[in-house]
């Protein structure tokens, strides 16, 4: 369906990534946010708090991130599209409820504007060190989707995408920004509402008698109902059957948890987004994401000036990971160069997907700034020599 025009601030703007993310959420139909202040993410909800009373919706500042991350889920079951916004320390506190959203299949978006860690770390200088936490941070087996914008424009566009994916798969979607992308001001073009495609909630059309809250129709994503509609359904974080009733058996666990994983895994090729450039005939491919992809671009340009055959693969979805793409490339390239603002996270995925067919070179950076393009260039040059 098309976006609700009330939430869409059509026009050309000069805004930062945090503000663009907020506009993306409003355009996607988010009418509820719960937050707790933490730099460098707070601007998202500050803008939301200012905008939402004139659009029809609610912002509430909760007492902590534990509360914010579950309050938004109450709002989802009350019929809203909802999200929260945080940075590393708050993201750590939200892990419990990312698990709850995964288990109860509550569509929602968690925005993490990453800063250096661990713990309080670097308030507030950039990092990309929450990438594995986004995937594995809550206990148990589950699947999420994570997106990594690299510009304010993408903070707008991909926030809409994040809400759409959350609704389509009924999963929590992690929106993995970083401090630089969040605070960088650039041109952001917001189209008119009729040009914005919004995925509606997968709301059941079944009668109260027929409705099975966690029953599926082959596509592995159950239909949802909202509180107050008469369905009298039950939602629990316990292992549950198709009725939503707790059921503590290995059989129910196996069926439920596998479905929670497979509903995303089966669609991984379709969900997976990346930007590629000159991969054909490349000797070396630079794999990057977020702000690092823009620094890497400089290194790639310098390498090409020297006549080196360097391709670019920019991850737009971090999770599900671009396994297939990396595996395909691994048989034709010498090496993958993976710069990231952490000491080696997504590089492990590249190495795994490459399966030993191509060399994988990490270009780590502990965060607090971005790479010097020369560091990446050096890694490229070295890799083309072997």
Partner 1 sequence: MLNVIDDTVNPVEPFLRTDRMPHIWCPGCGIGTTVNSFARALIDSNVDLQTLALVSGIGCTGRVAGYVKLDSFHTTHGRAIPFATGLKLANPKLNVVVYSGDGDLSAIGGNHLIHAARRNIDLKVICVNNLIYAMTGGQTAPTTPGHATTSTNPYGTFEPAFNLPHLVEAAGAVYVARWTTFHVRQLARSISEAFQKKGFSFIEVISPCPTLYQRRNKMGDGLDTMKYYKEKSKVKNGAPTNEVGLTLNGEVAVGKFVDRDRPDYQSMMRAQYVESLGDRYIEEPEMECVCE
**How far, CA to CA in Å, does 296 sit from each of 273, 292, 311, 376?**
18, 6, 11, 7
| Cα torsion through 95, 98, 100, 105, rounded to 10 | -170
DSSP type of residue 151: S
Residue 22 vs 148, nearer CB to partner 1? 22
- 92 with 67: CB under 8 angstroms? no
Taking residues 293 to 332 in sequence order and writing x for each that binds partner 1 by CB under 8 A, - otherwise, the string is ----------------------------------------
CB of 246 to partner 1, least distance (A): 6
Find the largest Cα–Cα distance for the chain: 69
Contacts 24+ apart (CB under 8 A), 120-123: 120/89, 121/88, 121/89, 121/367, 122/367, 122/368, 123/39, 123/40
Q: Looking at 59-67, 124-132, 335-343, 344-352, which segment touches partner 1 (CB under 8 A)?
A: 59-67
Residue 11 vs 53, nearer CB to partner 1? 53
Q: Which of 20, 76, 354, 383 binds partner 1 (CB under 8 A)?
A: 76
Q: Which of 118, 218, 228, 250 binds partner 1 (CB under 8 A)?
A: 228
Q: HSE-up of 330 (CA within 13 Å, CB side)?
A: 19
Residue 108 vs 131, nearer CB to partner 1? 108
Taking residues 233 to 252 in sequence order and writing x for each that binds partner 1 by CB under 8 A, - otherwise, the string is xxxxxx------xx------
Judged by CB under 8 A, does residue 217 bind partner 1? no
CB of 53 to partner 1, least distance (A): 5
Judged by CB under 8 A, does residue 73 bind partner 1? yes
The encoded tokens of residue 77 equal: 């079951």
CB of 222 to partner 1, least distance (A): 15
The residues in 81-110 that bind partner 1, with binding defined as CB under 8 A, are: 81-82, 96-97, 100
Residue 49 vs 302, nearer CB to partner 1? 49
b vs e for 138-164, b when ≥16 Cβ sit within 10 Å of the residue's Cβ?
Answer: beeebbbbbbbbbbbbbbbbbbbbbbb
């Amino acid at each position: 369906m098309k976006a609700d025009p009330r939430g869409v601030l059509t026009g050309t703007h000069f805004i930062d990534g945090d503000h663009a993310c907020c506009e993306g959420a409003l355009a996607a139909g988010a009418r509820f946010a719960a937050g707790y202040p933490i730099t460098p993410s707070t601007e998202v909800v500050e803008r939301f708090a200012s905008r939402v009373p004139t659009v029809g919706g609610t912002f509430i500042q909760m007492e902590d991130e534990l509360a914010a991350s579950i309050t938004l889920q109450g709002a989802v079951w009350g019929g809203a599209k909802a999200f929260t916004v945080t940075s590393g320390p708050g993201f750590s506190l939200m892990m419990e409820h990312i698990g709850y959203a995964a288990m109860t299949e509550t569509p929602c978006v968690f925005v993490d504007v990453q800063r250096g860690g661990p713990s309080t770390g670097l308030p507030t200088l950039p990092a990309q060190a929450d990438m594995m936490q986004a995937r594995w941070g809550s206990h148990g087996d589950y699947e999420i989707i994570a997106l990594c914008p690299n510009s304010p424009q993408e903070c707008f566009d991909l926030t809409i995408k994040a809400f759409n994916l959350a609704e389509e798969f009924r999963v929590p979607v992690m929106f993995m920004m970083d401090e630089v992308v969040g605070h960088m001001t650039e041109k952001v073009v917001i189209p008119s509402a009729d040009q914005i495609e919004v995925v509606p909630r997968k709301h059941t059309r079944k009668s109260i008698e027929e409705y099975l809250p966690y029953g599926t129709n082959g596509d592995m994503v159950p239909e949802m109902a909202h509180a107050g509609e008469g369905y009298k359904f039950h939602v629990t974080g316990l292992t549950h059957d198709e009725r939503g009733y707790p059921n503590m058996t290995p059989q129910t666990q196996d069926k439920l948890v596998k479905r929670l994983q497979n509903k995303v895994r089966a669609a991984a090729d379709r969900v997976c987004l990346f930007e590629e450039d000159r991969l054909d005939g490349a000797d070396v491919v630079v794999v990057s994401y977020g702000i690092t992809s823009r620094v890497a671009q400089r290194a790639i340009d310098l390498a090409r000036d020297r006549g080196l055959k360097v391709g670019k693969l920019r991850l737009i979805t971090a999770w599900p990971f671009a396994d297939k793409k990396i595996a395909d490339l691994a048989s034709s390239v010498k090496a993958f160069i993976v710069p990231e603002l952490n000491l080696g996270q997504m590089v492990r995925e590249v190495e795994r997907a490459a399966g030993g067919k191509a060399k994988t070179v990490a270009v780590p950076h502990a965060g607090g700034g971005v790479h010097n393009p020369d560091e990446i260039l050096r890694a490229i040059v070295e890799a083309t020599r072997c």
